[in-house]
Amino acid sequence: MGGMGERLVIGTLLAAAFLAAPEAGTTLTLHNLCPYPVWPLVTPNTGFPSICGNDIRLEGNGHGLVSFPFPPTFWSGQLVARTGCAPPPRCVTGSERPAGVVQLTVHSAEGAPRPDLAVYSVSLVDGFNVPVVVSPQAISGDGPCPALGCSADLNAGCPPAQRVVGAGGCVVACKGPPGYFKQRCPLTLTTPVDREPVQQHCYAPGELKVVFCQPAMVGADAAAQPDVVVAEN
């Protein structure tokens, strides 16, 4: 009886400790489903800390997966996918325009384990280079939390005058026009005054997951991989 009573006490204490423990903070997860590597560039807005190094190579076909915690109170910044790096910052796309930009902002009350609000969007105002979608996960708040972004390969149908062509002759980025982007990817921002037709925020997500090349493009020919060009000093 003594042993059983002792186990019950220990079990009660462990349960109480579990219930009292704060939830894990919100994370930023990056997952690369493209058939080529991606080097993410995460840039905090002025006054905010860096949340990761920018020398990470995410291997293609789903092998590249990494997560970083957001600061506990407030953070705002941008994310761009770079391709054809040898190594960063010498990259074929993403180091400058044209490139798609993920915009992220998380708000949290002091001491709260998760943000009260996450605001996110994918902007093609500066052009397109890699399909990208932002999807909130592990949601504990109320209301819809839509996935936003572009899973289509806009390089494939880019108007000839708007194409950026790599050294091997394949299209590695597209400059526009906004109407082409909006028609193919309506859940993106394509002009400075544009707005998505759905809300651009989520209450209390445990994770903001950024996926490069959603399943609609996973079967794309690996030969479409951007050419690696080493920049001259």
221: pLDDT strictly greater than 60: no
Q: Dihedral of CA 124/83/80/66: which sign?
A: positive
Q: Where does the pLDDT of residue 144 fall: very low under 50, low under 70, confident under 90, or very high at 90 and above?
A: confident
Within a 10 A sphere around the Cβ of 200, how many other Cβ atoms?
18
pLDDT of residue 80: 98
Structure pTM?
A: 0.81
Which strand ranges, in their side-by-side order, compose the sheet holding 205-212? 64-69, 27-32, 205-212, 132-139, 148-150
Instruction: Please state the rounded mean pLDDT for residues 110-129.
Output: 84
Q: Smallest Cα–Cα separation from 135: which of 198, 207, 197?
A: 207
166: pLDDT strictly greater than 70: yes
145: pLDDT strictly greater than 80: yes
Give whole-number Cα distances, 20 to 13, 23, 72, in Å. Answer: 10, 9, 18
DSSP 3: H
Ordered structural domains, the chain, with CATH: 27-212 (2.60.110.10)
